[in-house]
Amino acid sequence: MPVTIRDVARASGVHISTVSRTFSAPHLVNPETRVRVLACAEDLGYRPNRAARALITGRTHNIGLIIADIANPFFPPLIKAAESQARHRDYHVFVADTNEDAAAEEELVHALAKQVDGVLLCSPRMSNSLIEQLSREVPLVVVNRQLAGLPCVLMDVGQGARSAIEHLAGLGHREIALLAGPRGSWTSRELRRAAGAAARAAGAELTVLGPNPPTEAGGLAQAEQVRRAGVTAVLAYNDLMAIGLLEGLDALGVRVPQEVSVVGVDDITLSRLTRPKLTTVATPTAAAGRTAVDMLLQHDTEFPRTGRGGGAAVAVGARRTTAQVMLQTELVIRDSTAPGPYAGRDGPGATAAGPGPHRRADPGTPSVVAGDVVAS
Amino acid sequence: MPVTIRDVARASGVHISTVSRTFSAPHLVNPETRVRVLACAEDLGYRPNRAARALITGRTHNIGLIIADIANPFFPPLIKAAESQARHRDYHVFVADTNEDAAAEEELVHALAKQVDGVLLCSPRMSNSLIEQLSREVPLVVVNRQLAGLPCVLMDVGQGARSAIEHLAGLGHREIALLAGPRGSWTSRELRRAAGAAARAAGAELTVLGPNPPTEAGGLAQAEQVRRAGVTAVLAYNDLMAIGLLEGLDALGVRVPQEVSVVGVDDITLSRLTRPKLTTVATPTAAAGRTAVDMLLQHDTEFPRTGRGGGAAVAVGARRTTAQVMLQTELVIRDSTAPGPYAGRDGPGATAAGPGPHRRADPGTPSVVAGDVVAS
DNA sequence: GATCTCTTTGCAAACCTTTGCAGTGAAGTA
DNA sequence: TACTTCACTGCAAAGGTTTGCAAAGAGATC
């Protein structure tokens, strides 16, 4: 029933190889023949069978997208951008959700490996060594995790955390809490490291609470601890937690930002809609999705992964980029941060309320590109 | 480099067909042989090549999920549930985003047809006739659209609209606006039909504003119209639009719910987080995703789609369900609705403020199952 | 001991495409 | 005219798996 290359060949009176070439190497076939074949193909509604093509070329024209939690609003813009970018390059995207589970991640990479030309690992919870091991099975691009020797797309949350802490310190906060993210999260470690350093530099004290699930519930559950810790400002791992915290503090009768200032990370759509509107570190999510796909497919035209007689070519030519792209973040000041107890007093950085509100501008272009192309 | 069935056969000293059977028809191979083969396969890290398998069986063990807009928070829970359910049945999921574009939808179905065993069409914008035509190319399950002769998963937004209008009328509203959704949306038509009937029954007047893009911006853009229409209550196509409207009204200095009551549809996570919290018609999104996958895969073990010698079996056996499943919705009353100008006066349904707040319970089970299994 | 049945295994074709190689014929060159 | 070059096309193998058929061997039955 399904129409194959053979049907097109019969209809247009040429050999199947000519039909094949009409699609995959048009310059090799006579223009007249080409239009005839194309017309027949159109007529019959022929579409090349990708499975058969994959079998021989070794390239599936599919990529895998492994996501910690699709329901986390951080990810949909990334998925959308990646899917769109992939489709422009004639790739289709498998999406899989791990529920924040490292074991599921590993299994998914294995399961997808044979079906895709590469996998985007978004905010993985696995160990670095496991990721490295898996990268020998299938090309990997890692988002939100830094790994030597692997292509990574990073968001500069360190810079974001610094900006946030400086903003808070500038407002006169000295006792700041950090709501950590999930165990295994590179972003959470980065945040902690940078926020700690920035706090020290600003003469503020940083209390780390967590790890926590990166959800609204995770933030809500920490409201009590935040109050008990006696801090006047909080930096949360992400907006979802910040919003949960907003709710929790509200329930406890703690006013934001009058009594406690709250800063999130991500700038999800939601963060503009809460009351108070959330001050947050905007991350260029869509750009990350696009960039990751581009990095994965960088060499797609040059080097087939396997295929007939390709043994040597693969060994010699299958270079993989290990470039690491760092995308800029930006502090977006809204209504959830306000002057704290030391406002106006002397002290490092206690100058002003910082620069006025920013509009988020998705940078789209990397600020830092490190690494190089090496033979794998 | 990649390990094939041949490597396993060599390692375990049997023919490749025996290895194949070990995986796809274990009962046909001697238990001793089986464990040996399994051990070798495990050792070598063998995974069957799905493309090769698909080539001969005609079943890819993939499904396609075509989504109007991944960034619309209505969809991620559906995607997540569908992906999870599919994976339990050993299927992988292609996700594709159409950007609310009917032409993109059609192209995507074509592009995916050869690569999947079926496609879930979520909230399609195409015409019915086009969907029917495409369903001859690849098995389709349609979500949020009613189509005779095709399996559909519907949410009872008609009932939801009735509840919402009755709730508003009960609160004493007589001038109600409906913010319609996008052109081509079945849900929007249903909403309009049911809300119109319910309004008439309650002696209220319904003004339809739209069509509108189903986004926050779409709702925001209608705030001015809403004020000018002089209505005291609004039912929006979805929560996103309702939230946009909330913002727009706020900007215009119109207080919600004191001056205007607002009701959304979907009960996305966000709707609990706005101020005021949004009264909305909860739709069982996750259940819809699960159900749709189940309907698509209902016969997957019984009837291969194509394959050697399968001609007759297909013609006779490839029955497709055309069952239509209707999932219940539920009005969740929060803080964006309040008594209107006719509160307490006589009039149909003007009794009380309704049945008090509900907690959303994802029904998970269909309330109505219609249709039957027919040979296609 | 011959025949039959049943379980287990091997053989080889088939799925649809790509691609190296060789063949054809025409145009160009000496 | 004889030879080379070139553009185009056909041939056939290959990719990894499934599966109908047949063969082999072990018991069971008579």
Domains of chain B: 5-48 (1.10.260.40), 58-155+286-326 (3.40.50.2300), 157-283+329-360 (3.40.50.2300)
Average the pLDDT over A185-206 and give the result: 97
Q: How far is CA B245 from CA A28, B176, B177, B224, in A?
A: 58, 14, 12, 9
pLDDT band at B308 (very low <50, low <70, confident <90, very high): very low
Instruction: Give the integer Cα–Cα distance in Å for B269 and B243.
Output: 12
First-to-last C-alpha distance (Å) of chain A: 44
Buried b (16+ CB within 10 A) or exposed e, A41-58: beeeebbbbbbbbbbebb
Nearest CA in chain B to A113: B47
Question: Which has the closest alpha carbon to A319: A304, A330, A336, A331?
Answer: A304
Q: Which residues of A touch B80 (CB under 8 A)?
A: 69-71, 97
Question: Above pLDDT 70, what percent of chain A?
Answer: 85
pLDDT at B320: 60
Chain mean position to CA A161: 18
pLDDT at A373: 31
Instruction: Answer whether residue A309 shows pLDDT above 80.
Output: no
CA angle centred on A112, ends A107 and A116, rounded to 5°? 155
pLDDT tens readout for residues A131-173: 999 999 999 999 999 999 999 999 999 999 999 999 999 999 9
pLDDT band at B345 (very low <50, low <70, confident <90, very high): low
- Determine how β-strand B62-67 pairs with β-strand B119-122: parallel
Interface residue of A3, A89, A92 to substitute, partner B, most B CBs within 10 Å: A92
pLDDT tens readout for residues A86-117: 999 999 999 999 999 999 999 999 999 989 99
Average pLDDT, chain A: 87
Contact A83 B77 (CB under 8 A): no
Chain A contact for B216, CB < 8 A? Answer: yes
Say which residue, B371 or A58, is predicted with more confidence. Answer: A58
Of the listed ranges A306-310, B40-44, B287-291, the least confidently predicted one is: A306-310
pLDDT at B112: 94
Nearest CA in chain B to A110: B47
> Which among B2, B76, B269 is the nearest to A76, CB-wise?
B76
Distance from CA of A267 to the nearest CA of B (A): 14
Average the pLDDT over A219-240 and give the result: 97
Instruction: Answer whether residue B317 shows pLDDT above 70.
Output: no
Instruction: Give the integer Cα–Cα distance in Å for B48 and B20.
Output: 9
Please, which contacts does A82-86 make with residues 24 or more away whose CB atoms are closer than 8 Å? Answer: A82/A120, A82/A289, A82/A290, A82/A292, A82/A293, A83/A289, A83/B70, A83/B95, A83/B96, A83/B97, A84/A290, A84/B97, A85/A289, A85/A290, A85/A293, A85/A294, A86/A293, A86/A297
B107, burial (CB in 10 Å: exposed 0-12, middle 13-18, buried 19+): middle
Instruction: Give the integer Cα–Cα distance in Å for B151 and B299.
Output: 13
pLDDT tens readout for residues B160-215: 999 999 999 999 999 999 999 999 899 999 999 999 999 999 999 999 998 999 99
Say which residue, B45 or B346, is predicted with more confidence. Answer: B45
Chain A contact for B312, CB < 8 A? Answer: no
Q: From the DSSP assignment, how many helices (H) and strands (E) are in chain B? A: 14, 15
pLDDT band at A2 (very low <50, low <70, confident <90, very high): confident
pLDDT band at A230 (very low <50, low <70, confident <90, very high): very high
Distance from CA of A97 to the nearest CA of B (A): 7
Protein residue at shortest CA distance from C1' of D18: B56
Instruction: Answer whether residue B344 shows pLDDT above 80.
Output: no
Protein CA B36 to sugar C1' C9 (Å): 15
A65: alpha, beta or left, given left = phi > 0 and alpha = psi -120 to 50?
beta
Nearest CA in chain B to A69: B80
Instruction: Answer whether residue B272 shows pLDDT above 60.
Output: yes
pLDDT at A342: 86
Q: State which residues between 294 and 313 of chain A bring their CB within 7 Å of strand C.
A: 304, 307-309
